[in-house]
Structure 1
């Protein structure tokens, strides 16, 4: 049986890689999601951006670099600093920060293979049609809900 039998999330929520990072964040907050798929002008999958990536971008570079600061307790309440970094996101393209090397699930992917890939990744995985276009996103939650439903039948 393939993942076509699972009602995965259609790609009704998504952005183009040229959209602003701030717009992506606002959309994720509005829709209560942590991962947002990107697709190009033809509808082909172009990556995933996450709230984790965006939050990391707000942290000072001195703490993000290898062997950088291990904690920022000395900075105290840095709400203004984080907010000022947030304003800079509107001038950055979401495509710059998208994770592009994520596994993709083809529409005819067996359920067990999809479960394996989902267990090895922290984000939902894109479902791609034979034409390379984004069909939707399959999350661990959707997979588990489907399996519970099947176990009850």
Structure 2
């Protein structure tokens, strides 16, 4: 067992979770950029409630669908990022640190998502939300790398 890797007993689950989190972060960012560009809605936001739209957990009306999808993917992403941070063993110090930073970033990202809705797409908040998403994506890649994916056979 090396200090850098997650070890053979946890390598595959950690790598899979890290890989899934990368895909989810990317998907969340794509839907978010689509939303803020406003191709469907004139101002880019139709659901001014947070965390749920007016229909709650029920099926969204058509006008809320993209925001509902964005928030649903974001919630799943947060759960996977947190799970990744939990499952990386402490003895894999570098991977653990990076995964914990990613968990902190996903928490910040949720707060920025709330502020994005409350400020109705204030440009500085939207830019911060996107920048944090990009950082989260980068830390997901680093977790994937340092969990030992490149040494796995």
Same-fold call, TM cutoff 0.5: no
Q: Would you tell me which structure has more helix in proportion to its own residues? A: 2
TM-score calculated relative to the size of structure 2 = 0.30
